[in-house]
Amino acid sequence: MSTRSEDYAGLTVAMITPFRGGRVDYEALQQQVEFQVEAGTTCVCPVGTTGESPTLTHPENEKVIAAVVEASAGRIKVMGGTGSNSTEEAVRLTSRAAEAGADAALVVGPYYNKPTQEGFYEHYKAVAKAVNIPICVYNIPGRTGKNIEPATIIRMAKIPNITMVKEATGSMDQASQILAETDLTVLSGDDSLTLPLMAMGARGVVSVVGNIIPRDMIAMIAAFESGNMAEARRWHHKLFPLCRDMLGLATNPIPIKAAMKLLGRDSGELRMPMTPLGADDVAKLRKTLTNYGLL
């Protein structure tokens, strides 16, 4: 199993988990994988924040990742979301994902219990030790309640299969320090910050809007990588209103599921306590999608 971090440069799509009648819709899940394969997406990430991991049961978590691995059939990389605020549970979920054939694991910082920096380090060390697939440290303090400090991530980078960071702190200084002092592949955790972070050395994004416009995200990344900054900026400005709505109208994944419903690509069903986008915000989203040329 390759642990080369550069293998994950480009577009990783944080997949939604489609529901129908309260259950995971595995047929729709397979269709999503096909959509991303056809687009040329580097990697798909099931059961992350966008995949409503907090309200999936552990058996569902394992089954969704296994189903995505099966549907991918080696045509696209799969980075399963396997984080937990319990180290024992994170180890088990990550081990199960590896056994199912996932190429890598996205492991969110332990949430709610707010460990010390030593606790963060020991948590990730235990997860990494349990498997031989690459680990992506998912740092999103706005969700977890506590930041994994740059010094801790720099220390983690010495663990062989911790190879990536999904940087969702919104702090350019934090990203700069990690990029300057490690060889980790840094992936943007915010669609709208992809280009700014790539300008500092990041290699791509774990994207929400990629669920609907993967080719456009790929085009922006490719333009930057080829040195065509004018084209990269053009894509950034075109994408920005859509990226803004995905986070600004309501908590992720409420807006992306609403968008996919409007586009006829999902039922739009969410699991409580997530509730559908309000009528006024649906109208705003519809306008953004129309202006973008999707409706």
Which of 8, 121, 146, 166 is an active site residue? Answer: 166
For residue 7, the model assigns a pLDDT of: 83
DSSP class of residue 192?
A: G
State how beta strands 10-14 and 23-24 pair. unpaired
pTM of the model as a whole: 0.96
Average pLDDT, the chain: 97
Q: Are 69 and 102 in contact (CB under 8 A)?
A: yes
For residue 276, the model assigns a pLDDT of: 97
Say whether 8 is catalytic.
Answer: no
Measure the CA–CA gap between 37 and 268, rounded to whole angstroms: 22
State how beta strands 23-24 and 19-20 pair. antiparallel
Measure the CA–CA gap between 266 and 257, rounded to whole angstroms: 7
The full set of domains in the chain, from first to last, is 7-226 (3.20.20.70)
For the chain (295 residues), the mean pLDDT of every run of 10, in chain order, is 68 98 98 98 98 97 98 98 98 98 98 97 98 98 97 97 97 98 97 98 98 98 98 98 96 98 98 98 98 98
Say whether 146 is catalytic.
Answer: no
For residue 5, the model assigns a pLDDT of: 56
For residue 4, the model assigns a pLDDT of: 53
Which of 138, 146, 257, 292 is an active site residue? Answer: 138
pLDDT in tens, 28-65: 999 999 999 999 999 999 999 999 999 999 999 999 99
Reference 188, options 170, 176, 173, 213; nearest CA is 170
